[in-house]
């Protein structure tokens, strides 16, 4: 009887052990599935952030092509450079190819990035993300509206430039390659990247986290997003922006040189927005470079000062805190 009970007890233990093994296997498979789903979610979040963030530098490309079309219209009175292929394009770019809404949105983001560059402290380490909790509904709806307007204007405008065959590189080729132009172009690259990073952090991330992250913060990899965004912007700059963006600042000057049209000053004034945007972005890049130089000088000076303090402290002989008592004979 005791032998039978022991066999029954051993059988129950084996069954319990098998159940535990099955539960562990199920938990591990579920964890693997959740990890796989979370990894794809992070990859999609990074991809969406990069693609939407590139809307801002592409808007610079569109504005450069609009400035180039303004100059070509000043040369050619036929005005075929502003023939838009659809009713929607004619409605969006209603005034001689200019859009007040697009110019206002780009200027607002640029000025906000300029103020942020002046007030924020710079560090080579990544900043803490703004995520971490549910964002207010007003911010999310505003970010949705701004991104939607950028998407509509950039999509329709780039499509028009392809339809009209407008390429701002024809004007950008007229610029010289002296040292001042190279410096200005380098600062423009830095300033546009800084403005795009501001746009990505404070506008794009709200929409992406609300859509992909379920309305809350967290998720994603800030370092991976920064690297992916920098590489994508570098590719866009190398293949498109660097050849066409100079039209923003060259178009007003070239229009003023035209003596055939009496309204050359008025036409140049219409293109002043592009010149202002170019100069303001260069100023943002100058602030970023200046802050970086100050940080490097401060870090070197602080490191040197600490090394000097350590050397001085090591050279000073350390005195013992225990005082030796006099001999007993001297006391007696």
Interval 225-278: pLDDT, tens:
899 999 999 999 999 898 888 888 887 777 777 655 555 555 666 678 888 999
Map residue 321 onto helix, strand or coil. coil
**What Rg, from alpha-carbon coordinates, does the chain have?**
32
Q: Which of 47-51, 196-200, 237-241, 298-302 has the lowest mean pLDDT?
A: 298-302
If DSSP codes are grouped into helix, strand and coil, which group holds residue 99? coil
Boundaries of every domain in the chain:
12-302
pLDDT over threshold 50, residue 4: no
pLDDT for residue 112: 94
Residues 116-119: contacts with CB within 8 Å, 24+ apart?
116/198, 117/194, 117/198, 117/284, 117/287, 117/288, 117/291, 118/287
Cβ neighbours of residue 323 closer than 8 Å, sequence gap 6 or more = none
Model confidence, pTM? 0.76
Closest to 175 (Cα-Cα) out of 254, 268, 73, 234? 254
């Amino acid at each position: 009887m005791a032998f039978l009970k022991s066999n029954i007890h051993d059988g129950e233990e084996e069954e319990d052990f098998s159940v535990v093994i099955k539960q562990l296997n199920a938990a591990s498979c579920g964890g693997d599935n959740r990890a796989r789903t979370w990894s794809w979610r992070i990859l999609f979040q990074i991809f969406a952030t990069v693609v939407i963030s590139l809307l801002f530098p592409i808007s610079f490309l569109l504005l450069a092509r609009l400035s180039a079309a303004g100059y070509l219209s000043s040369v050619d009175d036929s005005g075929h450079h502003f023939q838009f292929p659809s009713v929607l394009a004619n409605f969006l770019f209603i005034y001689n190819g200019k859009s007040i809404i697009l110019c206002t949105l780009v200027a607002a983001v640029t000025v906000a990035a300029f103020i942020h560059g002046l007030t924020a402290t710079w560090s080579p380490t990544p900043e803490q993300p703004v995520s971490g909790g549910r964002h207010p509904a007003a911010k999310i709806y505003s970010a949705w509206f701004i991104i939607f307007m950028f998407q509509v204007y950039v999509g329709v405008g780039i499509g028009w430039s392809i339809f009209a065959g407008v390429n701002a590189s024809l004007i950008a080729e007229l610029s010289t390659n002296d040292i001042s132009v190279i410096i200005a172009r380098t600062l423009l690259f830095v300033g546009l990247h800084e403005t795009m990073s501001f746009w990505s952090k404070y506008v794009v991330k709200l929409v992406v986290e609300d859509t992909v992250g379920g309305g809350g913060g967290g998720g994603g990899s800030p370092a991976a997003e920064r690297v992916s965004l920098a590489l994508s912007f570098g590719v866009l700059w190398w293949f498109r922006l660097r050849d066409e963006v100079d039209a923003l600042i060259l178009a007003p000057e070239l229009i003023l040189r035209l003596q055939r049209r009496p309204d050359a000053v008025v036409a140049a004034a219409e293109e002043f927005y592009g010149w202002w945007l170019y100069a303001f972005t260069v100023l943002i890049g100058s602030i970023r470079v200046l802050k970086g130089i100050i940080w490097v000088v401060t870090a070197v000076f602080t490191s040197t000062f600490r090394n000097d303090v350590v050397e001085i402290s090591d050279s000073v002989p350390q005195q013992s805190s225990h005082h030796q008592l006099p001999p007993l004979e001297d006391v007696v």
